[in-house]
Structure 1
């Protein structure tokens, strides 16, 4: 439950400008999570979310810098816990995740900076990955399978 909630929090703050814990709690409730303010506060601390200024001059929640190893470890954990399987066609890789975890798993994958990935597109439970060549494709699939089997 905690991992899927963390995945949803990351998805929410990437898709909307969230200024307050109350706003984040309401978004989680709108997405079916029975949540308290104290839990949201703990989740923000565990995910090491920070407040940054947006283009409108308001402060919103954001993930820490990509170099933050703690956050990277959290994202890898979310990835390994939410990705169900991997498949490919030519230079496209398709990852299926648990419902609602696509964006968070794609963020985790992007933070890993695998060589050969041109880009990722995430849906609710599916991630499409375009890879530069078939050699890179095989390498990335092998890495992903190892991550989700551990």
Structure 2
């Protein structure tokens, strides 16, 4: 859910000049997300959004063009190129990678900040992700498959 909400926030601030957290919360609610101001505040922090001056002289939220966004792209690229398969077994997600790729792919998965992950362990070519619910495990598997076009 958080990943979808973050995607929606990025879409909203790209399409509109959003000046305040309240404006962003309202736009999210209008898009079907039940959020509080505190949730929006955490999302802004997690996404590392900044305020910048718009063409009309007012301030709006924006995504900084920094090394951290390039790092996120690189990590997503690693995930895409390293993962061979992904499945869930109850509350455990098992990710298979090419030999030597598990550590880098696990770092990428950790940076995706999925909800309900209790822990991640990476070996040489396998990652075990312990998740708190079976439903969360299924969501994580689906999300990883979507990101790597499986």
TM-score computed with the length of structure 2 as normaliser? 0.54
- Other-structure match for 2:95: 95
Q: Which portions of structure 1, spanning 4 or more consecutive aligned residues, are displaced by more than 3 angstroms?
A: none
Query: Could you tell me how far apart the structure 1 residues matched to 2:69 and 2:117 are?
Result: 21
In 2, Cα distance between equivalents of 1:132 and 1:68: 29
Deviations 1:5-46 (A, max 9, x none): xxxxxxxxxxxxxxxxxxxxxxxxxxxxxxxxxxxxxxxxxx
CA contact 2:87–2:95 (8 Å) conserved in 1: yes
What whole-Å deviation, never above 9, does each CA across 1:72-99 have from its counterpart, x for those lacking one?
A: 1100100011100012211001000001
**Tell me, which stretches of 5 or more residues in structure 2 are unaligned?**
1-66
In 2, Cα distance between equivalents of 1:116 and 1:77: 24
1:143 is matched with which residue? 143
Over aligned residues, Cα RMSD in angstroms? Answer: 1.4
State the shift of 1:147 in Å.
Answer: 1.1
Larger Rg: 2
Distance in 2, Cα, partners of 1:119 & 1:68? 23
Contact map agreement 1:84 1:148 (CA 8 A) in 2: no
SS at match of 1:87: strand
Q: Equivalent residue for 2:121?
A: 121
Residue 100 of structure 2 aligns to a residue whose secondary structure is coil
